[in-house]
Amino acid sequence: MYIWFNGKLMDRQSASLSLQDRGVLYGDGLFETFRVEKGTPMLEDAHLNRLRQGACLLRFAQVPEPEELKRGIRELLRANRVRSGYLRITLTRGIGGFGQPLHRLTDISVWMEAREHPLDLSRYEQGVQAVVTSIRRNPYSPLTRVKSLNYLESVLARDEAAEAGVEEGIFRTVDGDVSETASANLFLVQDGCVVTPDVSRGLLPGIVRSWVLDTCTQRGWAWETRAVSVEELMKADEAFLTNSTWGPFPLVAVDGRSIGSGKPGPVTREWISRWRKVAAGDSAE
Ligand SMILES: Cc1ncc(COP(=O)(O)O)c(C=O)c1O
């Protein structure tokens, strides 16, 4: 297994990170996870843009050039022979003491890993169940808007979900509205309209979330971004989650109560099939 580390392809075993790296000490860094299909990273530019924007927001003194990353991605996918799987880029601010001015920390670390990991199609047939967790998202925190290495709220939310015997944990905001889940954005369908919490609800502006909203705009389909209550989610006709690993996938129950029929709904199924067409390289989608 190869990884791409600071510009070079190398054996995974021979790469090492300092114990003083700020990514390890403070979660001071960012990551991106891409779906790879047919040996090609999906929505590559959108991911690289978000990485860049996140690095600006977190005041990184340096960010790798997208062209360099793209070259690295191609080399890595070829070296590991990934056709259907995922690729992760991790960026840390490198070595530097706490309180050191951030503009002086120019020695960043960046590495990429890629693995073959075909999708488990049963997830789309059965859907996932979730619980509303005790963790509240802070809409004013800069961290919710970037894919930072500080992923502990998601780790805890997933653990609450596992204790309840389900797969996903839903975050509310401090005001009690629905925000997102531990690893995905959340959509509901009401009378054919696709509704998702707006970004001011302390959520990650997901790449697949944007793809859904852009597709709706292009096709003239009804969509809204606004405040969503837990009650409204429970009463929705159907609901689905989105992330880059899975694309859109059905959310069929929350806190033990079925959403709609308790099975993946027709609108959700259409989004799944549209995503599969994009993954298959159908440019019409
Ligand atoms: C907390 C959280 N929200 C939303 C998403 C979905 O984002 P994307 O569609 O960019 O994968 C993720 C993806 O991992 C996530 O971790």
Nearest of 137, 141, 19, 7 to residue 65 by alpha carbon: 7
Structure tokens at 108: 């960043």
242 CB within 6 A, ligand 1:
yes
| pLDDT per position as a tens digit, 43-59 | 999 999 999 999 999 99
208 CB within 6 A, ligand 1:
yes
| pLDDT per position as a tens digit, 172-197 | 999 999 999 999 999 999 999 999 99
241 CB within 6 A, ligand 1:
no
| pLDDT per position as a tens digit, 55-78 | 999 999 999 999 999 999 999 999
244 CB within 6 A, ligand 1:
yes
Q: Mind listing the domains of the chain with CATH numbers? A: 2-116 (3.30.470.10), 122-279 (3.20.10.10)
196 CB within 6 A, ligand 1:
no
Supply the pLDDT for residue 181: 98
Residue 60 neighbours by CB under 8 Å, 6+ apart:
91, 93, 102, 108
| Candidate from 183, 203, 278 with most ligand 1 atoms within 8 A of CB, to mutate | 183
Return mean pLDDT, the chain.
96
Q: Name the DSSP class of 217.
A: H
Spacing, Cα 248 to ligand 1 middle (Å): 11
Spacing, Cα 13 to ligand 1 middle (Å): 29
Supply the pLDDT for residue 281: 86
Task: Give the pLDDT band (50/70/90) at residue 282.
Answer: confident
* AA identity, residue 268: T
Say how far residue 2 (Cα) sits from the centre of its chain: 23
Residue 253 phi, psi dihedral angles, 5° rounding? -155, 145
| Average pLDDT, integer, range 72-90 | 97
148 CB within 6 A, ligand 1:
no
Supply the pLDDT for residue 120: 87
255: pLDDT strictly greater than 70: yes
Spacing, Cα 54 to ligand 1 middle (Å): 14
201 CB within 6 A, ligand 1:
no
285: pLDDT strictly greater than 80: no
154 CB within 6 A, ligand 1:
yes
Rounded Cα distance between 60 and 215, Å, is: 32
Rounded Cα distance between 273 and 285, Å, is: 10
Supply the pLDDT for residue 283: 61
Spacing, Cα 277 to ligand 1 middle (Å): 21
pLDDT above 90 covers a percentage of the chain that reads 94
| pLDDT per position as a tens digit, 229-244 | 999 999 999 999 999 9
